[in-house]
Structure formats: C-alpha cells, structure tokens
Chain A
Amino acid sequence: MASINSGSRWQFWIDRGGTFTDIVAKSPEGKIIVDKLLSENPEQYQDAPIQGIRDILGIGKNQPIPTEKIGVVKMGTTVATNALLERKGDRVVFVTTRGFKDALRIGYQNRPDIFALNITLPEMLYETVIEVSERYNAQGEQLESINKEQVKQDLQAAFDIGIRSCAIVFMHSYRYPQHELEVGKIAEEIGFSQISLSHQVSPLIKFVSRGDTTVVDAYLSPILRRYVEQVKNNLYNFKENSNNQLLRRKALDPTNHHLATKLMFMQSNGGLIDADSFQGKDSILSGPAGGVVGAVKTCEIAGFKQIIGFDMGGTSTDVSHYRGEYERSFETEVAGVRLRSPMMAIHTVAAGGSSILHFDGNRYRVGPDSAGSNPGSACYGRGGPLTITDCNVMVGKLQPQFFPKVFGKNANLPLDKEVVINKFEQLVRQINDGRNKEQIASGFLVIAVNNMANAIKKISLQKGYDVSEYTLCCFGGAGGQHACLIADSLGIKQIFIHPYAGVLSAYGIGLADIIIIKEKTIETILNETSLKTIRTIFAELTILAKQEIEIQAATENQQIKIYQKVYLKYAGTDFSLVVDYSNLEQMTQQFESLHQQRYGFIVTDKNLIIETISIELVCPTYQPEVIRQEPNPRKNIKPKPIDIVKVYMNNTWQDTPVYQRETLERETIINSPAIIVEATGTNIIEPGWQGKISNNKNLILSKT
C-alpha cells in the first residue's frame, strides 16, 4: 500500500478515450497537473498515455522514463471497447453443450429495430463452434459425461487453424462447473493461450448472457494483454526482443516496490485492478466508470449526497444516479452483446456536442447521428456539418478567442465562426420559418436540452426517485454549456462543477478504490435453511476475494471494507432488488420497503427467492487530502471579467462578461448572465442562476 500512496513519487491518472486522452498527474510535492492530448497521433507518438507522462515529466523522445520516480499509473481505456465495436478482437472458438451451437446467435430471438424490413443482427464474435457431448440438468445430475477424445480432437482442429482463444460455456455450469473445468484442462494441454470458462467469468444463471459474456472475455482479453504489455514496454523502454530480460523481470516484479511502477486499470464496476488481472469482460465501461467515481467522490467531499452525474461529451451523454451507494447493473447490452457482469449503472443518451442538426421540412431534429471527431462540428473548420456545438458558437456561448488554435485542416487555426455563420444563413433560407440565425440555433438547443432532460426524467421515474431534490454534477467537454438549461427543465436547483470537470474521469480513476466483486447465483427460497447455506458461500467468496485483493495490493487487511449483498425477488418473477445481508426479518423488511418505494406495492402470499449473493471488497488506493483552507475573509467578491461579449439568451442579445475560472478567488459571486471559461471547458450561467466559487474552488451554481 505504501508504495501506491507514496507521497514521494509521481502518480499518473489517465483516461484514454476515443478522441482525447486526459491526464491528471500528481507530483511528489502534491501539485496537480492536467493535460489533454489526442488519443491517436501516429506521426507524433505511438501511445498517448506514455507521451503524456513524457510531456509532464519533460522527458525527451529517446530518453528512458525514470520509472523509479513514478509510484503508480492508473488507467482507464477504450482499447477493448473499440475492439468490440469494430469487431477486431481475437479469433475465438466457442465450445458448448450439444444442441446449443446456435444458442448465442438466436439469443432471445427479438430483433433490435421493430420497423426494419432488412433485419440486421449484431455479428457473432466467435469464429467457429464445437459442440460437446455432455450434460447436467438444472438439479446437477450428470445426464451425460464428456467424450474427452472427441473434444480433444475438435479443439486440436481449431488450434491447428490458428485459433488461440476459447470460450467454454456449458448448460448449468454456473452451479455445476465440473465439465467446464475438465474441458478447460484439455484446452490448456493443447496450448490455447486464452481460456475463458463461463462459471469463472460470470457465475450467474442465464445461459445466453453468460455465454455472450464468456465469448467477449475470450475475444477481448488477449487484446488487453497485448495492450498492457505495450504500455509496460513503453514505460520501461523495452524494445521488441529486448535482451535485457533481467532488468525487465526486476522492474515488473510486483514485490519490488522500490523500483516498480504499479500499473492499474479501471474496470467497468468502478474499481481498480492490477494490470495483469484486467479482463476483457470488465473493461467495456472503463472510462465512463471513472467518471462516475470522479463525480461521486468529488461531490461527497463537497458535501452533496444525492447526485445526478451528467457527463456530456461529443457523441453521447452518460447519466448516472447516486444516493449513498454505487449503482450497478448485472446485465448490460453493449454493441449487441449481452454482458452479465457487474458494471456501473450508466445510462447513455445518444446526444452530445457533435450531434448533427436536421430539418426535414416540418420539424427541427437533433441527432442521433454525430459528426464525431473527424470531420467534427462545422466550427472545427474541416468541412463538418452543423451540430449542437455550432449552435453554441452561433449564440455566442462558445467564443473562438478562448480556444487554442488547433482547428482547421492543419490543426493550426482558431475555431471557425465564419463557417458557422454562413451555414446558419443557409439554414435560415432553407427553413424559412421567420427565425433568424440565432433563433434557429436556440431552437435546436431547446430540442437537444429537452431530449436529454426527458432521458434523465425517464430513468428517475423507472427507479422511483424525485430528481428535483438532486444536485446535478456536471462534467465532460460539453456539460457546462448546457447545465443550467438541463437543470431548469428538470427542476434541479443546484449544479456542481469541479475544478477538474473537464477531466473528471481521469481524476476519478485516481480516486478509485481497488474493488473485487464475487457473485454467485443461488435461486432458492429465502428461509433459515437457505440462510445457513449462503453463510457458508459468503465465507467461501470472501476467502477467494481476499486472496485476489492481497495479490493486487499487497496491503494490510484493516483497510479493506467488505460489503455483503443479497439479491431478492418474489417467486415467479425475474427482477430482483438488492438488500444488505443480515437476518431473515431484516432482509425481508428491507426488500419490502424497497419494493414499496419502487413499485408501489408488496405481495404477501409469495415466497422470496434469493437470486444471487455478492460480496464486494473495497480497498482505497488514494485519499485526496482535503485541504483545510482558512475561509476567505473577503466575502461576496466581485470578479473581474476578461472580456465582455454578446450572447443570445432568453431571446435577446445580452452583454455577457467572461471570466477565467482559474483566476477566480474563493467566495467569488458571479451573477448571470456569465461565461466562465477554463482550460478544459466552458460554463454558462443562464439568467435565473448565480455562481459561487466555494472554499474548495468548486463552482456551485444555484437557482436564484
């Protein structure tokens, strides 16, 4: 532990996103440095995170990175997510029970778009299938044993055509895993380098989604392995086929804390894990999960306990909900693949700064298509279409003079307002509804804001909470431009914008804990007998998880917190609710009160079923020092604007002061309308709102 939290070495917290890589670095003196660079820039560098580290440490191209000065590198990455989206994972053989070779392809038989005549289903991730003669029934009787000779022959054939990764998924293995273990052993003997066994990847009932998850794991884990190797090689300056194996082994030895830089990755469940244990199935929401952690941890320090996380980026907006505990979902669909693995509950809305504007002759529409990062919005000056970002340029909320000159074909020009104005003029003629340029831009903004607000309302209604009592925690590149408007349309009265809001995912990755989650399907009636059974299983899971966390962190146990959860549901239903593990009466009571809150009723004549139990081991990696600042003796400070610009708000052009966030003192009050620019974003204070810089330098917007 001491090595991770060591104050005498650098820490790097990195979110490698699709477009940008965000870096938050903490110097040995405790100073925070923030950097943002393009994730892909092959002419300049091979790997953005490594380049960022070099930039911050001031290390030249051919010089080695002084890893002894770096305590830990924590990373979130979209490497696996992109491989999944682009279907560029490793070749996989899917090994399953006889009769089920098509089970994942058929899935649950529904089609994604009910109005499409040409029905397009997501492409399968595996290349070939082996059916194995074997079978357990639901009660664990072995109906048929494995024909080992045949399996061996079939697996060898797959190996011989060059497949090295296999996913083994048998019926009822979540509870009766013997056959999977046996076949796994055969695969190992043949020489497969990636063997994903479904009962280990996801020990939960549901053949189809567990099967999908296992295939994803086999498909992506090798990619992650290679990425981790690449990062290590770059970090330690190992060339391909390096002779210096000794140095390499020494540097990578996890017990060698004085030399080794610890490399950790962010998982979809919101916890960090050692690079070597990072698995494909846990990598899909790596970056966004960091955002949720960042939002939650920074809000908690600031004293906000009920928050809506609002992370608005270019192509999409991620919404999350927090009220004292991380919310996770056990089944998530990403890129047409069902993932049965605990992930942060993040709701993605297909609307962001790059959402394209449309006019179909009758109505204004926004998205769902996006201009992406290339060509990007019209204002990027690379021939892109009009987008929401362009609307904000049009109405003056985004001012080119406050952006770096990284636009245009050669990435050396300012934001192109000219082209935005020209394009809106064309739109005025096309739409011809009596609106001028800024009115049209405002119209599209209203629609975009409504779409996002409706999506947030829908989630809150589904979960049964009143969103107007929450604080909107706003981050991501485009969040601050729309925060007040979104809050207004949700009835939210308070907005929180952290100083690192523009890189909050990276910051969250730095603040995240090591988390080990172990779960197990139970599917038995809740009673005293089954409670005894789960007590034993909890103990077993705890031992397993502790072993893992010890390898991870080499840490003292007293820092570890253990949470034990029970997923309960009424007999005959499929939706479970999570309660804390305790005695029969208390769990029943907690379940009923949750059921009442969420569904408005309880049932008295149905048994409760224990669906799943899970344990979560949490071990902190870094506690941000809450800097006990003396309160600023000066109150109600009037800030000095760096400029005054015209902004179209409330149907009129208003003289609007622009402030530089970094120079605003604590206790500063900012009246509306105002623009607050900062290195990684632009925040708008709309009429009816007031901003304040808090004692911790947070920007808090309140309804006046």
Chain B
Amino acid sequence: MNLKPDPVRLEIFNNLYQFIAEQMGIVLQNTAMSVNIKERLDFSCAIFDASGSLVANAPHIPVHLGSMSESVRSLIKDKQDSIKPGNVYISNNPYNGGTHLPDVTVITPVFSPVFTFPPSPTRRGAGGEVEEIDKNLLKPIFYVASRGHQADIGGITPGSMPPHSTTIEEEGILFDNILLVESGIFQDKIIQKVLTNHQYPARNIQQNIADFKAQIAANNRGLQELQKMVEKYSLEVVQNYMQFVQDNAEESVRKVIDVLQDGEFTVQLDNQATIHSKIKINKTTRGAIIDFTGTSPQLDNNFNAPFAITQSVVLYVFRTLVKDNIPLNDGCLKPLQIIIPKGSMLNPQYPAAVVAGNVETSQNIANCLYGALGIMAASQGTMNNFTFGNKKYQYYETICGGSGAGKNYHGTDAVHTQMTNSRLTDPEVLELRFPVLLESFSIRKNSGGQGKYHGGNGVVRKVRFLETMTAGILSSSRVNSPFGLAGGEAGKTGKNYVTKKSGISQQLNSTATVQMQPGDTFVIETPGGGAFGKDITDLD
C-alpha cells in the first residue's frame, strides 16, 4: 500500500465520500413518506469501509453521529460469510449496535463492480472464456447504511416513546440483522410478520415499509456511487483513501488531546442514577481513556443508554473541541479508548428498557464529559420530550432550553443543545393541525446560572388543550439542576405542571402521563444552563 496520501487527492476523496453520504440523504429525504424523515430530517446516511469503520456521514442530528458503525460491525460479526450481493439487512437492536427501537438502520453491503447482480460464481473473461471467481473476492468491499426515525414501531404508546416502559418489549418491535432484501427480493411477508406478530404491534405498517424502501433506495445510491468511484480510481486507491481520511481525522483529534487535562465528573439523574466519567490523557501517545466505571448499574426504567449512544456522545464531544471543519469518521475515535462496564446503565443488556437513553441520558453523558474536561458548564441536560394525542391526533416535540457557559463565553438562551437540533413546529401550523392553543412561548428569565459567564435561560411553553387528550412528558433536570463550573452557579431546574380549567395546579414529575381535559393547560418550564466562573464583577 502506498503509505503516504497525496494532499490534493486526500481533500478530493474526503469531499467525495462526504458527498456520497449527502447524496444518499437527498434520495432518502425525497423518497421517504413519513414526515419524520422527509420534513424533520430525523435520519442519517453513512458509508463504511470493509471492516465497518465509518468513513463519512451526513448527520442532521448529533446523536446519530457515528453510532451507526456499531450496527454495521454487529452485522459483519453476526452474518460474516452469508453476506451476499443483492442482500440488504435491517436492524435496530439496542443490545447489538442500535440506540433505541424507533431508529431503524438499513445496511447494504457493497461488492466489487465486476460482480453484477445476480451473483454468479463465474464471469466471462476478455476473450469470452468462463473464469472461476476467487471466493475471497466475494466479500463486501464497503458498506452503506441509512438510519431513519420511525414515527411508530409499536410498543405500549403510539409514537413508540413511552415515558414509563420497563422492558424492551413495551417499546416495540426489535429487528436483529434481519434480511430486508434477499438476493434482490424485498422480504415483504417476513417484515410484515415481524411488525405485526408482537404483543404491541406497529400501528402504521404501510408507512414503515415505505420508509424502509426509501432507505434501500438511499443505500443503492451510495452503492452505485462507490462502484463508480472504484471504476474510475481503482479499488486499491478508493480503499487506501478511505484509510487516509480516517488517519487525517485521527490526527486532528490527537492535536486537541495534546492540550487537555485529566478529569473526573459525576452527574446525577432525576431518578438518582449516576453517570460517572474519568478522562485520562496520555500525552505520549496523544490518546485518552474515557472510563465510565462507577456509573449506576442497569436501571429498571427506560433511561438506560446502549453502548452506541455513549460512543456517539464521545465522538460528538471531542469533535466540538476541534475548532475546524474536519471530516467525521471512525478515525476521530481511534485516539479514544472508551470503557463501559457491561450491565451498567450505559451498556445495558436484554431486556432493559432504553427509549429515554437516546434523548435524555445522552444529554447528561455530554454534560458529564464536558464537566470532566472542565471546559463547559451543564446545558439543560434534557430534550423535554412532549407528546400528546388521542385516536385522531398524535404529536411529538422536543423543547429547547439554556446552554452552558464556558471559559470565555456566556450560555445561550432558548436553543437546542448537544445531542439534538430538531426543529419545532410553527405555532400557527401547530394550532391549525391540532386542537390546542399555544398560550405562550417565551424565554424563562433568570433560569440560567449566575457567574462570571452566565448560563443560558430556558423557556416557558404553555399549551392549552381544546379536546380530551393524553399528554406525556419525558424529561430530566427537574430534580437535579444543570451544574455550574469553576464556582459558577447551577442553572434552575425545569418544571412540569398542569393548570386545570378550574385554576388548580397539578405538579408533575420528570416523567409523567396526564389526561388533559378541554381548558386544561400543560406548562413546561425548561432548565437553564450552568454558569462558568464565580466572580461576576471580574467580568471583562
């Protein structure tokens, strides 16, 4: 292998891999039927090398970053020799590379373009003679994958985000590297059976299947573009540069590790569980060990976060430390050794419930890592997942809050932080489509922590119901406040409550389900961010 990359080609290939992932995303967005994928862009597409390492991806939502390579590696491990051209696999298993059940990943292996489909053990040579093909060549050269958030994948509540699930069964359907397409044939019957043959079956199978097909189409685009690339540049060059772009990303991360300090931090969740991280910097190898030993064992609620989530948060946090537009791939993770004890809430085992791990625990893992590095106070530490609905209507939103302050900057008011960045429905559209009235949506004054650099303020959102509906809140930082750093004050905790039509107020916990009557108002006050530094008068 040519050991030194050409700097011009490095940039061109870097952009090309990224561009292929983006093209997959465009195809997915265009061909998907669900609003979740098409309009809220809750999806991610990526390409991987033969070992399942992430080469490039195009994420809209940070928590999707890098968590897919675990899914691809699990497929390689599980299926190995049975992976053939024309096959496509589907997976969402949180104990095998997945994050939570609604995020379904579709993986397509890519084979060398000399093998046309259907696969044949022979091919015709230049002179028309039939050649035997080396069986070793019949291995995937790359993988492409797309992950989309399903609006519903079964489970005890519509929308598959149950606030009170205690086992994975209650959260919906689980796919564990199942064949979605076999030898070019879509496995309609099998997939329908999996979606229906369940204690809590999926509620809109037609839409699930339409989105799966869109994911297959997106992967196909990636497959074709990669094969074109191989034809243009040769397999060797394409594969070499897949390695080089990872090496390049690795080097960028090692550069920032150079200037970091050891640290340790604990974050407590509202349910008393704790996340503990210890970061040890090795200046000689320019690497870091991120050790989560000391984190609470697996929980009996749904705040467990599968391994892939923590990996994704680590990747995100270290990427934010690099103040440059670097490629995002598994090279970034190479200098980082992640230790998570099996059976802890960050490495849960079947049948632990996990649905809040992706949206809530992930936010607190991020806070914990920034705390350990001593560089930023806590952001709101929740996504404030708010759902409501009845037979006719279903709605889900996440609500912004305050961001944490850092060494030389204030936190920001009312903004999505860390592992999410999803957009909110416009107030007029919300009121037109659902029988609710938005009484107010404003910045929650003085909720950010005070200090040399103050934390960002949260928001107050008041939704009045005009019909009887069930509403649910899945949130954090209602008991424990987002911490300050270096002497800075903590941000204010959030609050959930209902003001009944009669005027009586009902306080709610971090997670709650309530029957709303016409005239009742659901109020969510989201947490502020923590402050950084003590002395306000010291501010320059």
Contacts and interface: CB of A to CB of B under 8 A. Distances in A.
Interface stretch (A62-70, A113-121, A507-515, A670-678): A113-121
A650 to B, nearest CB: 15
A454 B22 CA distance: 10
Max chain B CB contacts within 10 Å: which of A362, A363, A364? A363
A118 B7 CA distance: 31
Chain B interface residue bracket vs A: 35 or more
Interface stretch (A98-106, A406-414, A560-568): A98-106
Given A99-B439, A100-B440, A461 B431 contact: no
B415 A601 contact: no
A98 B316 CA distance: 39
Interface in A599-656: 599-601, 603
Max chain B CB contacts within 10 Å: which of A102, A120, A443, A454? A102
Interface in B131-185: none
Contact of B30 (A114, A143, A447, A600): A600
B19 A454 contact: yes
Given A121-B415, A461-B27, A447 B12 contact: yes
A450 interface: yes
B8 A172 contact: no
Interface in A45-104: 98-103
A118 B31 contact: no
A209 interface: yes
Interface in A156-177: 171-172, 174
Interface stretch (A189-197, A243-251, A569-577, A658-666): A569-577
A89 B210 CA distance: 48
B320 interface: yes
B57 to A, nearest CB: 13
Nearest to B423: A108
Nearest to B210: A601
Contact of B462 (A99, A111, A117, A457): A99
B230 interface: no
Chain A interface residue bracket vs B: 35 or more
A433 interface: yes
A207 interface: yes
Nearest to B435: A138
A338 to B, nearest CB: 10
A365 B426 contact: no
A695 to B, nearest CB: 39
A583 interface: no
B402 to A, nearest CB: 10
A598 to B, nearest CB: 6
A111 to B, nearest CB: 5
Contacts of A109: 399-400, 414-416, 423-424
B443 A599 contact: no
Nearest to B206: A605
A206 B62 CA distance: 27
A363 B14 contact: yes
Interface of B: 5-8, 10-12, 14-16, 19, 22-23, 26-27, 30-31, 33, 35, 38-39, 59, 62, 210, 217, 248, 251, 316, 319-320, 322, 324, 375-376, 399-400, 403, 406, 409, 412-417, 421-424, 426-429, 431-432, 437-443, 456, 459, 462
Rank and list the top 7 A-B pairs by shortest CB-CB distance, nearest first.
A99-B440, A443-B8, A118-B409, A109-B400, A363-B11, A119-B412, A108-B423
21 contacts: A99-B439, A102-B442, A103-B441, A105-B413, A106-B459, A109-B415, A119-B456, A121-B412, A138-B431, A208-B426, A362-B5, A363-B8, A435-B8, A447-B12, A450-B12, A454-B16, A454-B19, A458-B22, A575-B38, A575-B39, A603-B33
Interface of A: 98-103, 105-106, 108-111, 114-121, 137-138, 143, 171-172, 174, 205-209, 359-360, 362-365, 431, 433, 435, 443, 446-447, 450-451, 454, 457-458, 461-462, 464, 523, 572-575, 598-601, 603
